[in-house]
Amino acid sequence: MKYFGMAAAAACLLSYSVPVSAAEDLSAIMANPNNFAIQTGDYANTRYSKLDQINAGNVKKLQVAWTFSTGVLRGHEGSPLVIGDVMYVHTPFPNIVYALDLNNDGRIIWKYEPKQDPNVIPVMCCDTVNRGVAYDNGKIFLHQADTNVVALDAKTGKELWKVANGDPKKGATNTATVLPVKGKIIVGISGGEFGVQCSVTAYDQETGKRVWRGYSEGPDDQTLISPTETMSLGKPVGENSSVKTWEGDQWKTGGGCTWGWYSYDPKLDLMYYGSGNPSTWNPKQRPGDNKWSMSLWARNPDTGAVKWVYQMTPHDEWDYDGINEVPLVDQKIDGKERKLLVHFDRNGYGYTLDRESGELLVAQHYDPAVNWSDKVEMDKSSPNYGRPYVNAKMSTEHNGEDVNSKGICPAALGSKDEQPSAFSPKTGLFYVPTNHVCMDYEPFKVSYTPGQPYVGATLSMYPAPNSHGGMGNFIAWDATKGKIVWSDPEQFSVWSGALATAGDVVFYGTLEGYLKAVDSKTGKELYKFKTPSGIIGNVMTYEHKGKQFVAVMSGVGGWAGIGLAAGLTDPNAGLGAVGGYAALNNYTALGGSLTVFSLPN
């Protein structure tokens, strides 16, 4: 660990103040729109800000207020946090954390740089990204690439405790942020491409002691599923509902990783998230539905007990991870106010569920190119209720044999990957960054060896045919009807998280490096600015000394930009992304910087 000496730290502390009590409830800190206190904007994952100083009428006047270089040249996902007068900025591996003084032009208050074994880098799928730190009770929480969960003193950067959440030598790593809730830190794990049996774990914020762990697959005592009380689409799941859908002990290397975003409903006292792909990517080698990979979960944050679970893509054949964000909103469907959960899955379906019961209400394509499945069965009386109907031509397995399938839409990186959507209560719409990409998929036999890749498929990716020729769209979505309201085409996938504001503006970034602002009602472009590198970070906003700022990290990378980030040239490398995004080299280069915008004085 490296951080400023005590004398230097003390001198820095004199130059700033944090108008936030360490004991102040995180919900209250998040409710103050001047802060940006959690990566998802709020517990509901709406990524909506009530700030409106920057609005549709004046956003065209935005200018750069200040910048900060992170010193790291890999993909920069996630966003800074702002708590009072301090901004907390993170980086990809080696996962440096900076505390910056907003009263002093972003002066560095402290810097934390963990010492990690660089051997973790080749074990990380799809770049060395990290989706950000969390804050609660006067602490900054970092989940490192090597799976160590670290608590830092928010004022000094001093390490308070550290605990290992997994074993990188067996393929377990981390790219995700964490969820601070009720005195606990909820963390997931990566490693689906290495045959890790993935899980969600709660640690005590004060001590780092493990409180509970729930696996994505396995017997009931490991998944924390109750045969009679856990529901799936209105019915009890039954005993060992996961194990019965795997052949033999394959669940022990089953994947179902949990590297996405977490939501929390304080009134229902439930946390929500999605689980990822089953291992291996070769479906022939793992017959059965492979539950509970590719599923949405509702768990009690105190015990980990599962209230309901819904599998979106049984027996996945395409790597359609289900880890994307699960925003929580209250809206009317068929004239009835419902507590909703909305999820834009990698498989191309936009799902709307009742978040209290897990009832499936809407399942529709949010990219018109989707062709692996025509529809989801919505008839509750059908034994196939909630299951997608698979287009046999797009299957990668037929009669127990591997099939080299071509023209599958979407590609494995999905109609959307982890880049989070935003919701505006003013319009009632979701704003969704999407991929408009298809693939060829050739499975092959692979054997499991701990710590070695357990993929079993070769992919190639390309823009969806018979459309605008680009690889992305930024869309507005009505989750009550399952309809696209408007769509803005983009040359490359939109790999940046969106931000909606009360000023009727929606912000997002592009892989070429543009920060864009569009009208929330029409999608009309109102502003754009080219930052130093491609943007895969998430746009955030805050207010300081009466002035609103918008900030985004740029630094091309992630799955779409892995060719640039890792210097790869084989078109099949990066699980097929290198060839698909080769043209990106003509528009941007590596970087690692924060750009902060404001209106002129």
DSSP secondary structure, 210-250, as one string: EEEEEESSSSHHHHT--TTT-EETTEE--TTTTGGGSSTTG
What is the SS3 assignment for 580? helix
Residue type at position 194: F
For the question of residue 153 being annotated catalytic, the response is: no
**What is the C-alpha separation between 447 and 440, in angstroms, rounded?**
22
Question: Distance between CA atoms of 1 and 419, rounded to whole angstroms?
Answer: 30
Distance of CA 441 to the CA centre of its chain: 24
Residue 267, judged by CB atoms within 10 A of its CB (0-12, 13-18, 19+), counts as exposed
3-state SS assignment for residue 564: helix
Q: Is 224 exposed, middle or buried (0-12, 13-18, 19+ CB in 10 A)?
A: buried
Tokens standing for residue 567? 């210097």
| Count of Cβ atoms closer than 10 Å to residue 115 Cβ | 9
- Report the alpha-carbon distance of residue 197 to residue 274 in Å, rounded: 15
| Residues 517, 350: Cα–Cα separation, whole Å | 24
Alpha-helical regions (H) of 358-399: none
Q: Which residue in 559, 441, 448 sits closest to 197, CA to CA?
A: 448
- Give the active site residue among 316, 319, 402, 417: 319
Which of 150, 28, 142, 8 lies closest to 84 in space, CA to CA? 28
**Which helix (H) or strand (E) covers residue 439, if one does?**
strand 437-443
> Which residue blocks in 84-234 are alpha helix, DSSP H?
220-223
- Hey, what amino acid is at 300? N
Beta-sheet strands, E only, within 144-215: 148-153, 159-164, 179-181, 184-187, 199-204, 210-215
Whole-angstrom distance, CA of residue 195 vs CA of residue 175: 17
Buried residues in 253-265 as b, exposed as e (16+ CB within 10 A): bbbbbbbbbbbbb
Q: Which residues contact 371 (CB under 8 A, 6 or more apart)?
A: 391, 394, 407, 408, 409
How many angstroms separate the CA atoms of 422 and 39, rounded? 12
**Tokens read off for 466:** 């018979």
Burial (CB count <10 Å: 0-12, 13-18, 19+), residue 523: middle
Which residues are the active-site residues? 319
